[in-house]
Structure 1
Amino acid sequence: MRAREIMTSPAVTADPDTPVREAVALLIEHGFAGLPVVDADGRVVGLFTEYDALHGAREGNGVVTTVGQVMTKPVEVVSPETTVVAIGRRMLTDRLRCLPVVEDGVVVGVVSRRDLLRPLVRHDDAIAAHLRALLSDYAGHRGRWTVEVVNGAVTVSGTFTDQAERGVITALARTVPGVSEVDCRSAHTMAR
């Protein structure tokens, strides 16, 4: 797997003259760890990270600073063809949270730690985890049901107080993004 397959694209960027407050708003709004800082030609000249934002706020003493004054530079970049293994090694070794992806000198995307983790989790696993959390909250953190998910089809197995509770569990399951169908089975149905 390569950077081009997992990167966030197009990249949200800042320029050196962007006020720190605006760049922080972009970080928060998009949930990013960092923004590539690009010049007028789209070439990466730095990286504005959460650390840079905090450092800039501390050093600013109330004065609005620009991204160019606090950005990290020089910045490490990868190409769209860089392997995920190589990216992971660089992130771990250098304690990086994101790397700009550059092609022909121009930023085309960003790879974050979260992007590296996504391929490790199957879609069905994410659905199951989300539904298990909902059911745990509903049941007061007593493990009353098991959850299986195959291609978005959910099977909830266990003991249901009555038909109304079965309906509530079905409705809860349908609120989870990616669920295509729901089957609630009583514990004695499973034994067949």
Structure 2
Amino acid sequence: MARIIGEVMTREVVEAHPETPFKDLVRLLDRHRISGLPVVDEDDKVVGVISETDLIHHQAVRSTDLPARRFRLAPPRRRSARRTAARTAQELMSTPAVTVHPEQRITDAARVMERHGVERLPVVDEEDRLIGIATRRDLLRVFLRTDDEIRQEILDAVATHALGLPTHEVNVSVRDGMVTLQGSVEQRADIPSAIRLAYRVDGVVGVVNGLNVHPAPGPLGPSAGPTEPGGGHH
């Protein structure tokens, strides 16, 4: 069974508020040895996310900024200028925040992270209130599952239930998360299905296919053997 975000998320979340000053944000990240945190309003609803990148960008732009009276800023530069003057989380945070729910699968959260290029996802309840946070490290915990756990799940979910294959016809071995499937199946279409389902099991690093198809029965049935001498049709 695929694991969900609620099983691996961090429940004790370091958070900031829209009015949290720049220096306090830096202190929070340093004190807790984290690279980012969610920003919540008075109802614990996530309104944005602050990352080290946001804070470093603020300092980088500020250090290269020249007196505004000497230049007329073009529209693309005005946003950078506003960030240069930013002093609170509300002005520095990235919005809108990309969030997930605890019942979502870990694989779904990984895709969201990849799609949006983020390293952490605030986890919210049905009312969008913050209840946890999932980082890339949290998601990687699924790969700490033992080989025996992975093997048993594949046997249960893939071999017997999903494809209806008897376990004595499919051998599953797992070493360091690498799965090897061996044995025989009735139909050739069962082979890619078995590989695909094995990949969906949490903790699987890769799948080596050793499955083959049962030999097809011969064209001659038991009653289609040689005709007895003197036989034939009249």
The answer, yes or no, to whether TM exceeds 0.5 is yes
Superposed CA deviations along residues 111-169 of structure 1, whole A, max 9, x for unmatched, are 0011111231359xxxxxxxxxxxxxxxxxxxxxxxxxxxxxxxxxxxxxxxxxxxxxx
> How far apart in 1 are the matches of 2:22 and 2:8?
28
- Answering whether residue 109 of structure 2 is matched by residue 107 of structure 1, we say no
Contact 2:86 2:92 survives alignment (8 Å): no
Superposition deviation, residue 64 in structure 1: 7.2
Superposition deviation, residue 43 in structure 1: 0.6
**Residue aligning to 1:15:** 17
**Residue aligning to 2:106:** 84
Which stretch of structure 1 is more off in the superposition, 43-52 or 54-63? 54-63
Superposed CA deviations along residues 40-92 of structure 1, whole A, max 9, x for unmatched, are 11110000011111122234569771111110001110011111000011112
**Residue aligning to 1:29:** 31
> How far apart in 2 are the matches of 1:23 and 1:60?
17
The count of aligned residue pairs is 123
Among 108, 116, 122, the residue aligned to 1:94: 116
Q: Which amino acid aligns with 2:105?
A: T
**Residue aligning to 2:155:** none
Superposition deviation, residue 32 in structure 1: 2.0
Q: Which amino acid aligns with 1:54?
A: I
Q: Which has the larger radius of gyration?
A: 2
Q: Which amino acid aligns with 1:111?
A: A
* TM-score, structure 1 as length reference: 0.59
Q: CA RMSD in A?
A: 2.0
> How far apart in 2 are the matches of 1:15 and 1:59?
23
Superposition deviation, residue 9 in structure 1: 0.8
**Residue aligning to 2:143:** 120
Give the match's secondary structure for 2:25: helix
Give the match's secondary structure for 1:58: helix
Give the match's secondary structure for 1:56: helix
Among 72, 77, 92, the residue aligned to 1:70: 92
Identity fraction in percent: 37
Give the match's secondary structure for 1:75: coil
Kindly report structure 1 stretches of 4+ aligned residues shifted beyond 3 Å.
59-64
* TM-score, structure 2 as length reference: 0.49
Q: Which blocks of at least 5 consecutive residues in structure 2 are unaligned? A: 64-83, 147-234
Superposed CA deviations along residues 158-187 of structure 1, whole A, max 9, x for unmatched, are xxxxxxxxxxxxxxxxxxxxxxxxxxxxxx
Contact 1:101 1:108 survives alignment (8 Å): yes
Give the match's secondary structure for 2:44: coil
Q: Which amino acid aligns with 1:113?
A: R
Give the match's secondary structure for 2:122: strand
